[in-house]
Amino acid sequence: METPTSRPVTLDDVARAAGVSRATASRVLGGYGFASVDARERVGAAADRLGYVPNITARALVRGAGVRLVVAVSGTDATVLDDPYVDRLVSAAARVCAPHGVGVALEWLPLDAPAGLRRLGDDRSVCGVLLVNTTAPVLDAVPAGLRGRVVSIGTGSPAVPSFDVDNAGGADAVLRHLHAGGRRRIAMVTGPRWLSCAERSVTAYQELMRAAGLPVRLVTGDFTAARGGRAALEALTRWPDTDAIYAASDATALGVIAALRGRGIRVPHDVAVGGFDDIPYAAVSSPALTTATHPVARIATAAATAVLDGRPVPPVTAFPSTLVARESA
């Protein structure tokens, strides 16, 4: 601020201005070790008089700390990065990381790519990794150097702690609501079948149907609206008496509703529709979508915080999912 030259202000400048050594200035600004009240005051004053901002890069280098948190999303191709769910995750992580001087990078991790993970483990500028939508083989391939710096959002494993919504609980809540509403021939549009965390809601569906003596009607989806619409039509073709459709995501459910409307099928009169996620648009769809909550931002925040803190975390952290009953079911 005061420097006539535009040369950035360094710790040396502050130390000199305060009449102390660089070591003392570092101690004061870093808030560790001893420093007299006098020194603290002089350094503090000099620092904000000069507009000193510590150089995160230099600090990270000497401390051996990373400056990037990588969000690695597994999937068959790079289009998995286009999912609004990923957007939300990245955004929440970037918000948590900002005050720590850490930035977030987003990468696609091919399903069969331990190589990509190894590179992340060997990269000293990476302070942590958030594995998203990953599978057991990928989790098993996590290199030792990454242990403790990586958490999974979704599928977990003994080696990698996981953060996720209670998929089974959320599915259960919506399905019971459907059942309580008198629906007895409930089809489900799933997420990608290779995604084991998504399979938990499929399992919940299957168990509930069997327990209630109801038919199991599964159609594969991929969380997108377009695929959801096609899946709904497919379900109706295979089982014309279907009176409810449970979709594994709200986007899927919205696609389902649109497809049903296109066929002149009334929701919820003819077919009830339930979703999962409670995205902002669920409340304003027509009809308003009955769904279960998925606190994506909170999950990402917790996961990023865990990595940033570096403290050990429990192997599984499940966030509760609660029913939001609206009009569609």
| Given 109, 131, 257, 271, the residue binding a second copy (CB under 8 A) | 257
Angle (CA) 201-206-209 rounded to 5° is 120
- The answer to the question of residue 325 lying near a second copy (CB under 8 A) is no
CB 277 within 8 Å of CB 291: yes
Kindly determine how many residues on this chain lie close enough to bind a second copy according to the rule CB under 8 A: 63
R_g of the chain computed on alpha carbons: 25
Q: Which DSSP string do the residues of 148-165 spell out, in sequence order? A: TTEEEESS--SSS-EEEE
- The answer to the question of residue 101 lying near a second copy (CB under 8 A) is yes
- The answer to the question of residue 118 lying near a second copy (CB under 8 A) is yes
In the complex, minimum distance from the CB of residue 245 to DNA, in angstroms, rounded to a whole number = 54
**Helix, strand, coil percentages for the chain (3-state, nearest 5):** 45, 15, 35
| Given 41, 48, 61, 270, the residue binding DNA (CB under 7 A) | 61
The Cα–Cα gap between 164 and 175 comes to 20
- The answer to the question of residue 233 lying near a second copy (CB under 8 A) is no
Interaction with DNA in 148-207: which residues (CB under 7 A)?
none
- The answer to the question of residue 159 lying near a second copy (CB under 8 A) is no
**19: burial class by Cβ within 10 Å (0-12, 13-18, 19+)?**
exposed
- The answer to the question of residue 295 lying near a second copy (CB under 8 A) is no
- Contacts with a second copy, 37-76, as mask; x by CB under 8 A: --------------xxx-xxxx-xx----xxxxxx-----
Look at the chain and count its residues. Answer: 329
Q: Which DSSP string do the residues of 259-314 spell out, in sequence order? A: HHHHTT--TTTTSEEE-SB--GGGGGSSSPPBEEB--HHHHHHHHHHHHHH-----
Residue 160 half-sphere exposure, CB side, CA atoms within 13 Å?
31
- The answer to the question of residue 264 lying near a second copy (CB under 8 A) is no
The Cα–Cα gap between 294 and 187 comes to 21
- The answer to the question of residue 301 lying near a second copy (CB under 8 A) is no
Interaction with a second copy in 71-100: which residues (CB under 8 A)?
71, 81-82, 84, 86-88, 90-91, 94-95, 97-98
In the complex, minimum distance from the CB of residue 41 to DNA, in angstroms, rounded to a whole number = 10
Residues 6+ apart with CB under 8 A from 51: 1, 2, 9
Q: What residue ranges bind a second copy (CB under 8 A)?
A: 1, 6, 8-9, 51-53, 55-58, 60-61, 66-71, 81-82, 84, 86-88, 90-91, 94-95, 97-98, 101-107, 118-119, 122-125, 144-145, 225, 229, 251, 254-255, 257-258, 261, 280-281, 283-288, 297
Q: What residue ranges bind DNA (CB under 7 A)?
A: 8, 10-12, 19-24, 26-27, 29-30, 32-39, 52, 54-55, 58-59, 61-64, 124
